[in-house]
Homo-oligomer: A and B are copies of this chain.
């Protein structure tokens, strides 16, 4: 059987499973997930054995220590996966929620209700815990899921998937509801993202290059998280101490994540007071500053920023700095170089705040707070499958409701249209 035929069969099984999942109650699904968590907890020996094979192959292939660390399944990480599943069990089931209801004069009742999307494909890189995290969120929302992980983690992913299936099966998980693409053939990704009619949505999880590659090949809709080039704009009306604390936090608290600040924009009138003080604090935290000319006149220790710096997601202790005319200048800069992820204004002016909130076209816009809060957990979603930088369907942190769609349900007593 060819790869193509294999993938089509996988898709057909997923479609059938999605139909079976559509009639499962919240309790049914929670029982499946609880059984999957228990199986992982009890199967940790097998998981670690499989993981050892991946680590060995990774070392032989010369993977960096950072990659080997991401790949490793420790007891603590297995406990984390198990706890993660149990958290998802505790979340409310989004399926069936009544979003709108109308009763027409002729008595026809129109309901708009949340329903599962159907079949979701997840394409991800080396962290094996995504296998459990993503599968469980999709299934909780009533979707069948097809996983395609990175080849470095293939033994670990298979072991996790097999263990989840073992637990789930006994609790009634439909055949085909959770499937892992087991071949390492790269063409399998192309097949997966081109299965219109069998796959309803692709969510790639990984670096920008993975996401671009998937998007370019896809015929199925893709929800993308390109990158987080997040800005903080310090207005001339900002409270200085607040601006200092917010900028330091947004840059330094965890620089390697997508909601960390990468560019700081400063109103020209506050720059002479603000820039020397923030520079001192950031340099003390080990941050490398790259400024435009106006910034460097005030803080000569800054390196010069190049045009490329403005669109760079450093994910590191580096910050680009620019002096702008006013809030309009900040909005222009963000429109040109931003990634529509998370951007903040620090300002005491209601007008400037409002303009910034309305005109900055990003998933999350902040007044007087650190951009570091853009996160499903911080937003109270309970669990997050990713952060969308798209504008359609889902924007910003994506939880369970974003893994659903809706349908209109009309209940009549023989109504016809006249």
Contacts and interface: CB of A to CB of B under 8 A. Distances in A.
18 contacts: A15-B335, A19-B335, A22-B358, A23-B354, A108-B373, A115-B358, A239-B414, A242-B413, A245-B414, A246-B416, A249-B417, A364-B408, A364-B409, A365-B407, A365-B408, A366-B412, A367-B409, A397-B408
A27 B418 CA distance: 36
Interface of A: 15, 18-19, 22-23, 102, 104, 108, 110, 115, 117-118, 200-201, 221, 239, 242, 245-246, 248-250, 253-254, 331, 335, 354-355, 357-359, 361-370, 372-374, 378-380, 390-393, 395-397, 405-418
A117 B335 contact: no
A396 B367 contact: no
Contacts of A396: 407-408
Given A239-B414, A391-B118, A417-B378, A409 B357 contact: yes
A372 B393 CA distance: 27
Contacts of A104: 378, 380
Given A19-B359, A379-B102, A391-B200, A410 B373 contact: yes
A249 B106 CA distance: 15
Given A22-B361, A369-B416, A370-B417, 11 more contacts: A23-B355, A104-B380, A221-B390, A242-B413, A242-B414, A254-B417, A364-B408, A364-B409, A369-B412, A374-B408, A396-B408
B416 A370 contact: yes
Given A367-B411, A410-B365, A253 B373 contact: no
A363 B407 contact: yes
By DSSP majority rule, is chain A's interface helix, strand, loop, or mixed?
A: mixed
A24 B38 CA distance: 54
Contact of A412 (B359, B362, B367): B367
A241 to B, nearest CB: 8
Output the residue of A19, A413, A417 with the most chain B CB within 10 A: A417
A405 B378 contact: no
A23 B358 contact: yes
A344 B418 CA distance: 18
Contacts of A412: 366-369
A117 B392 contact: yes
Given A391-B117, A392-B393, A396-B407, A414 B200 contact: no
Contacts of A417: 249, 253-254, 370, 372-373, 378
Nearest to A346: B414
